[in-house]
């Protein structure tokens, strides 16, 4: 998992390696400075006693200044490099995730919710970015600082070195205990963030439905409880984390008292002059000063390592979730010798079975045998949930069959280069989506090089040109996000025009004229018949009159073909079709009667 993530470091590999190296430079200087200070203090002491000025003081002072300047440089550089490396790593991660998401099939997309994908790309990557930055800055620097400061303390005084190790152990245990306790509420808090994102995303995308059903109060409650949960767990986690600084301070002070007690005693103990320095009980004043600094460094290093490990463990959940997105393999495997040409618009379903879940025995389509000729118009009718959308989704290979085979132009859809296949099979989806931008820009999704004439022609065929002309700005009219600025029926016609612009060999309308009035619906079908006679047309509809003039009509019932034939044939020989037809005719007659009655009364 870590390996998968680290692949995204890419061009930031150099900076990522350089950062810890620079940080080591800073750590070394931090060790050298107290050591120089020890000599400086001892030298001052000797100077005071002898009354003679020593040039060593100047040299030690200058050396300390140089070390401090170098440490400052390393610190600043390390910080800069770490930010660059971690921000670059995060950007690459986001890009790589997005790149892989683009290869997902519909089945892959079904595995992740949109909200969860958004959280993974945003919050989760930010968590990993922070952990990565902490690691490259601290995870090498802190242990090195710890080891070197301990060695130096032992060199100066083994007894005091021992005290430091004991203090570090105590601190390590306390900090580890806090970290372990804090990990659970933090982990839950991240999960609650997920929930919050889901609520926000769902509510905002469906804000119109929320308003029209007057569900604002209910949605506010949902939002309130989601925010409250995040609040509760962050307070819980932070409360524990707040103990950290005082505890570290406390251990530092206790260790300092011990150091001063033991060190002080050693100072007051019998004194001797070693190499010109006055040393009390084996410890000079300079020694004691530098030991104080080493002690702080050792204990801070323990805390930093613990914090780094904490960041890593906290971001583990995020890492897993990012790795899942990166490692998800498309369920539509590519063939090694793809076909790049769709010969014609013929479609063959040979013994097709389909299920949405892998290895599931619940089939949404069973034993479908259906052969459609190029240029044929095929209507599909059936109750909701009967498998109409599922059936046509197999043609542009949005999903794969579980058994059997779907052929387009005589070739198994699995043998095609996916882009080639999809460019020749245009599908007007049941849930249509337009994007922000002008009408022309949206239509060019069908063909980015389409001329204005071609766009207008496609709109004429889709009976969309008239309403477009009446809009302010015509084809430059801005659709707004998701195409909110046009009506449902207008949106459907724009989507049909967009599909026509692809100049497909097969065009599928999945309930695409449900929001268009019956007259315009008939006009669109008529214009397609005249302008695109060679294109195979599949029309899924709820209304019988949308398919009654088709060459053949398929009746689907619970994923099986329950009948196939012309309108007249089915009316004569298929019970389901007849029932649907009669119920719709009756509904229409009632409407007309109602209308007349109203008329007479007025
Ligand atoms: N993405 C999906 N994941 C799992 N099951 C699905 C998915 N899409 C559809 N189904 C299931 O497959 C069955 C057939 O659905 P399908 O969308 O093909 O019906 P339909 O005939 O197009 O219905 P409608 O007229 O309502 O559009 C249904 O039982 C549905 O619950
Ligand atoms: Mg459907």
Using pLDDT thresholds of 50, 70 and 90, give the confidence band for residue 596: very low
Q: Give the integer Cα–Cα distance in Å for 500 and 496.
A: 6
Q: Look at residue 591 in the predicted model and tell me its pLDDT.
A: 62
Give yes or no for residue 568 having a pLDDT over 90.
yes
Model pLDDT for residues 406-458, shown as the tens digit of each residue: 999 999 999 999 999 999 999 988 777 788 888 999 899 888 888 999 999 99
What range defines the domain where residue 367 resides?
347-573
Residues 288 and 185 in one domain: yes
Please, what is the angle between helix 125-138 and helix 13-50, to 10°?
Answer: 40
Q: Give the integer Cα–Cα distance in Å for 544 and 382.
A: 10
Retrieve residue 22's tokens: 């620079």
Using pLDDT thresholds of 50, 70 and 90, give the confidence band for residue 600: very low
Measured in degrees and rounded to the nearest 5, phi and psi for residue 77 equal -60, -45
Residues 317 and 180 in one domain: yes
Residue with CA at minimum distance from ligand 1 atom 18: 387
Q: Look at residue 162 in the predicted model and tell me its pLDDT.
A: 92
Residues 284 and 365 in one domain: no
The domain that holds 386 is classified in CATH as 3.40.50.300
Atom of ligand 1 nearest to the CA of 559: 14
- 282 inside domain: yes
Report the separation in Å between the CA atom of 405 and the middle of ligand 2, taken as the mean of its atom positions: 21
DSSP for 203-226 reads: HHHTHHHHHHTT-HHHHHHHHHHH
Least confident of 243-247, 286-290, 350-354: 243-247
- 601 inside domain: no
- Give the mutation target among 382, 390, 510 for probing the ligand 1 site: most ligand atoms within 8 A of CB: 390
- 485 inside domain: yes
Least confident of 139-143, 334-338, 359-363, 437-441: 359-363
Atom of ligand 1 nearest to the CA of 393: 18
Decide whether any atom of ligand 1 lies within 6 Å of the 385 Cβ.
Answer: yes
Residue 46: count of CB within 10 angstroms of its CB? 18
Residues 378 and 279 in one domain: no
Residues 491 and 442 in one domain: yes
Report the separation in Å between the CA atom of 409 and the middle of ligand 2, taken as the mean of its atom positions: 24
Give the total number of structural domains in the chain: 2
Residues 520 and 489 in one domain: yes
Please, what is the angle between helix 285-327 and helix 141-156, to 10°?
Answer: 160
Q: Give the integer Cα–Cα distance in Å for 322 and 5.
A: 8
> What residues contact residue 130 under an 8 Å CB cut-off, 6+ apart?
86, 311, 315
- 548 inside domain: yes
Give yes or no for residue 272 having a pLDDT over 70.
no
User: What's the whole-model pTM score?
Assistant: 0.74
Decide whether any atom of ligand 1 lies within 6 Å of the 390 Cβ.
Answer: yes
Residues 126 and 47 in one domain: yes
Residues 253 and 353 in one domain: no
Q: Give the integer Cα–Cα distance in Å for 602 and 589.
A: 20
Using pLDDT thresholds of 50, 70 and 90, give the confidence band for residue 597: very low
Decide whether any atom of ligand 1 lies within 6 Å of the 387 Cβ.
Answer: yes
Give the distance between the most distant pair of CA atoms in the chain.
Answer: 127
The SS3 assignment for 378 reads strand
Of 276, 296, 327, the position where a domain reaches its end is 327
Decide whether any atom of ligand 1 lies within 6 Å of the 388 Cβ.
Answer: yes
């Amino acid at each position: 998992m870590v390996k998968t993530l680290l692949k995204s470091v890419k061009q930031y590999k150099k900076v990522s390696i350089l950062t810890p190296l620079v940080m080591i430079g800073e750590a070394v200087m931090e060790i050298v400075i107290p050591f120089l200070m020890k000599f400086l203090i001892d030298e001052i002491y000797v100077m005071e006693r002898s009354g003679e000025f020593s040039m060593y003081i100047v040299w030690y002072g200058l050396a300390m200044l140089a070390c401090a300047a170098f440490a400052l440089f390393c610190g600043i550089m390390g910080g800069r490099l770490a930010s660059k490396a971690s921000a670059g790593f995060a950007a690459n991660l986001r890009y790589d995730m997005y790149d892989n998401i683009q290869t997902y099939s519909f089945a892959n997309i079904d595995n992740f919710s949109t909200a969860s994908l958004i959280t993974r790309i945003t919050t989760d990557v930010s968590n990993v970015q922070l952990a990565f930055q902490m690691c490259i800055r601290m995870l090498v620097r802190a242990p090195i600082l710890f080891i070197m400061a301990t060695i130096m303390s032992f060199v100066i005084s083994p007894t005091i070195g021992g005290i430091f190790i004991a203090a570090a152990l105590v601190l390590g245990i306390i900090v580890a205990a806090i970290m372990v306790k804090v990990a659970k509420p933090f982990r839950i808090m991240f999960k609650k963030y997920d929930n919050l994102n889901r609520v926000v995303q769902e509510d905002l995308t469906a804000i119109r439905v929320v308003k029209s059903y007057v569900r604002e109060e209910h949605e506010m409650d949902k939002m309130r409880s989601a925010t409250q949960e995040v609040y509760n767990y962050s307070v819980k986690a932070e409360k524990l984390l707040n103990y950290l600084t005082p505890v570290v301070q406390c251990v530092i002070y206790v260790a300092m008292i011990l150091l001063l007690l033991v060190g002080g005693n050693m100072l007051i103990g019998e004194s001797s002059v070693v190499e010109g320095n006055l040393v009390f009980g084996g410890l000079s004043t300079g020694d004691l000063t530098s030991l104080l600094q080493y002690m702080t460094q050792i204990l801070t290093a323990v805390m930093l390592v613990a914090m780094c490990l904490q960041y890593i463990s906290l971001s583990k959940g995020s890492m897993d979730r990012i790795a899942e997105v990166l490692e998800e393999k498309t369920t539509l495997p590519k063939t090694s010798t793809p076909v790049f040409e769709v010969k014609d618009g013929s479609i063959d379903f040979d013994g097709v079975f389909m299920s949405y879940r892998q290895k599931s025995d619940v089939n949404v389509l069973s034993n479908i045998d259906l052969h459609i000729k190029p240029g044929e118009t095929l209507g599909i009718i059936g109750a909701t949930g009967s498998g109409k959308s599922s059936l046509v989704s197999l043609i542009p290979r949005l999903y794969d069959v579980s058994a059997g085979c779907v052929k387009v132009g005589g070739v198994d859809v699995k043998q095609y280069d996916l882009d080639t296949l999809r460019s020749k099979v245009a599908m007007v989806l049941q849930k249509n989506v337009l994007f922000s931008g002008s009408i022309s820009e949206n239509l060019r999704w069908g063909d980015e090089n389409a001329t204005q004439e071609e766009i207008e022609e496609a709109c004429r065929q889709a009976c969309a040109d008239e309403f477009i002309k009446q809009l302010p700005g015509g084809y430059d009219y801005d659709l707004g996000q998701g195409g909110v600025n046009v009506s449902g029926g207008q949106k459907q016609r724009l989507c049909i025009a967009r599909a026509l612009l692809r100049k497909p060999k097969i065009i599928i309308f999945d309930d695409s004229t449900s929001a268009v009035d019956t007259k315009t619906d008939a006009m669109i079908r008529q214009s397609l018949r005249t302008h695109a006679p060679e294109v195979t047309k599949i029309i899924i509809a709820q209304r019988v009159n949308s398919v009654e003039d088709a060459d053949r009509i398929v009746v689907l019932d619970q994923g099986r073909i329950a009948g196939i034939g012309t309108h007249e044939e089915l009316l004569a020989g298929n019970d389901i079709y007849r029932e649907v037809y009669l119920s719709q005719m009756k509904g229409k007659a009632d409407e007309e009667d109602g209308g007349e009655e109203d008329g007479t009364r007025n």
